[in-house]
Amino acid sequence: MPTRTLTATPGALDRWRRDTPGCRDRIHLNNAGAALMPQPVLETLTRHLEREAAIGAYEAAEEAAGRVGETYELVGRLVGAAARNIALVENATVAFSQALSAFDFRGGDRIVTTRTDYPSNQLMYLSLARRAGVETVRADDLPTGGVDPESVRRLARHPRTRLVAVSWVPTNSGLVQNARAVGLVCAELGVPYLVDACQSVGQMAVDVAELQCDYLAATGRKFVRGPRGIGFLYVSDRMLERGAFPLFIDMRGADWTDPDAFRLADGARRFENWEFAHALVLGLGEAARYALAVGSAGGERAWALAAELREQLAALPGVRVLDRGRERCAIVTIDVRGHDAPDLKLRLRERGVNTSSSDRDDGVLDMDEKRATTVLRFSPHYYNTEDELSAAVEVLAGLIRP
Ligand SMILES: Cc1ncc(COP(=O)(O)O)c(C=O)c1O
């Protein structure tokens, strides 16, 4: 796990910032929303769009087939998977719902999850409850915050448990749940395991073998620094060999072989759909290449910057840092007494500082426990500087001064 160090190899920080045109004029602390794309990603995207305009989109796709193939390799390497286990889809939510739809849930089946899982995932569980009578049970938290793997064990032992699903890093705080320990429990009990790693990939080491997960959903635009509108799903060999496929499979995922028969595509491709945003796919591949070149130093620096920021923010009058857990990542959330976070976000933006805000419905259970209705979220990445953090804190201090 990343340790607290602000060092970057000589020249690395300058290079990262030179490659990031967006950081010239703004202090971008919204990487958990969407990071700034590095120049090679932007160039890859625009080059492909230009080819589409020049020779036709289908023709440009055929021309780029080799590089599209390489994208699967690069994305796979980000999470320790082979290309055949990666499906490229529109976003993390689609990845997650495709995985969820591969289970034939029946009334009385159970999904074990956590108290801080992403709101859209919670809504999908609730929809399954309403449509199919599936029960969602939430494991207890540890006193320090984050799911208690022993509570998962107790719940997942229930004979009707069909799936354990965990958001590794929630959207509305810097908590890092112990996804590896939960994976161990799932492996011991033989229960399928779905990890939402949307906020994890790009800011921490992700290895599907270590997690022992069957599915892992993620997106391109956050800490991976890819474009918007593209995400991916890892599918384990175990699930592929079992014949898992999404409920609404389409003609990319299968061949219609006879009037009443179809044959599944090999590999995780069966979780994709036919229309494919080639420019975004190539952009994601380039972002993965960039992230692999930056390596673990990137996440270490992002976490260290966040730790520094937490200290500076905690020292401001009226500020309550809300991040819990033994491990805390590059997401910093605060409540500011007497101030509404969406309003502060806008006023910070007017002054050149990008942050974001979360509302109660981004994490009903977590927010209620913290007695917070809105939170202001800062999410640094490795290309941010210590000076940017101090400047952002100073701007906030000016805005909330009584
Ligand atoms: C933890 C988590 N999971 C899933 C998502 C959804 O990602 P996407 O918008 O790419 O579908 C988000 C987005 O913020 C998130 O923070």
> What is the reported pLDDT for 63?
98
Asked whether the beta carbons of 226 and 284 are under 8 A apart, the reply is: yes
**Mean pLDDT for the stretch of residues 205-225:** 98
At 12, the pLDDT band (50, 70, 90 cuts) reads: very high
At 207, the pLDDT band (50, 70, 90 cuts) reads: very high
Question: Which protein residue's CA is at the shortest distance from atom 14 of ligand 1?
Answer: 171
Share of the chain above pLDDT 90, in %: 95
Quick one: how far is CA 194 from the chain centroid? 13
Share of the chain above pLDDT 70, in %: 98
> What is the reported pLDDT for 2?
42
> What is the reported pLDDT for 7?
66
**Mean pLDDT for the stretch of residues 85-102:** 98
Instruction: Indicate the CATH number for domain 12-30+295-400.
Output: 3.90.1150.10
> What is the reported pLDDT for 262?
98
At 3, the pLDDT band (50, 70, 90 cuts) reads: very low
CA–centroid distance, 80 to ligand 1, in Å, is 21
Please say if the pLDDT value at position 4 is more than 60. no
Q: Whole-angstrom Cα distance, residue 237 to residue 235?
A: 7
> What is the reported pLDDT for 5?
54
**Mean pLDDT for the stretch of residues 245-250:** 97
> What is the reported pLDDT for 361?
87
CA–centroid distance, 92 to ligand 1, in Å, is 6
CA–centroid distance, 358 to ligand 1, in Å, is 13
61 lines ligand 1 (CB under 6 A): no
Per residue in 322-364, pLDDT (tens digit) is 999 999 999 999 999 999 999 999 999 999 999 999 999 888 9
Sheet of 332-336, strands arranged across? 319-321, 332-336, 374-378, 356-359
At 144, the pLDDT band (50, 70, 90 cuts) reads: very high
> Exposed, middle or buried by CB within 10 Å (0-12, 13-18, 19+), for 189?
middle
**What average pLDDT does the chain have?**
96
- State which ligand 1 atom lies nearest to the alpha carbon of 220: 10
> What is the reported pLDDT for 377?
98
Give Cβ neighbours of residue 66 (< 8 Å, ≥ 6 apart). Answer: none
92 lines ligand 1 (CB under 6 A): yes
Asked whether the beta carbons of 128 and 102 are under 8 A apart, the reply is: no
227 lines ligand 1 (CB under 6 A): no
**Mean pLDDT for the stretch of residues 163-178:** 97
CATH class, 41-292 region:
alpha beta
> Exposed, middle or buried by CB within 10 Å (0-12, 13-18, 19+), for 247?
exposed
CATH 3.40.640.10 residue window(s) in the chain: 41-292
Please say if the pLDDT value at position 9 is more than 80. no
Mean pLDDT is lowest, of 157-161, 304-308, 369-373, 385-389, for 369-373
CATH 3.90.1150.10 residue window(s) in the chain: 12-30+295-400
199 lines ligand 1 (CB under 6 A): yes
Question: Which protein residue's CA is at the shortest distance from atom 15 of ligand 1?
Answer: 171
Question: Which two tokens mark 63?
Answer: 């021309």
Please say if the pLDDT value at position 170 is more than 80. yes
**Mean pLDDT for the stretch of residues 34-53:** 98
> What is the reported pLDDT for 326?
92
Give me the amino acid identity at 68. V
**pTM, 2 dp:** 0.96
Among 115, 122, 78, 84, residue whose Cα is nearest residue 100: 122
Per residue in 261-302, pLDDT (tens digit) is 999 999 999 999 999 999 999 999 999 999 999 999 999 999
Q: Which of 219, 228, 357, 361 to mutate to test the pocket of ligand 1 (most atoms within 8 A of CB)?
A: 219
